[in-house]
Amino acid sequence: MAQRLGAILWPSFFAAGVTTMVFFAHVDPLELRDMTFPGLPITRTMGYTIGFFTSWLATASSSLFTWWLLRPASRFNRTLSGD
């Protein structure tokens, strides 16, 4: 189980880091806040943090879905004992 979690979380963590760096190289978190949620007291650091964890969640979901699709079909295509 730990190996499966590592296979999902580590690549998604790396991808989220790269994605966050590229995204925030072009977008200021404070300007993004002013366009989306102007009433919330979000600092620049909190904007980076929210962006990273959102990106990590998205890439982890992608990795989890890929793992789910790659499971062996034999686990699910068993004949029923009553047939």
Domain residue spans of the chain = 2-65
| Class of residue 59 by CB neighbours under 10 A (exposed 0-12, middle 13-18, buried 19+) | buried
**Model pLDDT for residues 37-46, shown as the tens digit of each residue:** 999 999 999 9
Kindly tell me if the per-residue pLDDT of 61 is higher than 80: yes
Q: What CA–CA distance (Å, rounded) separates 5 from 15?
A: 15
Kindly tell me if the per-residue pLDDT of 4 is higher than 90: no
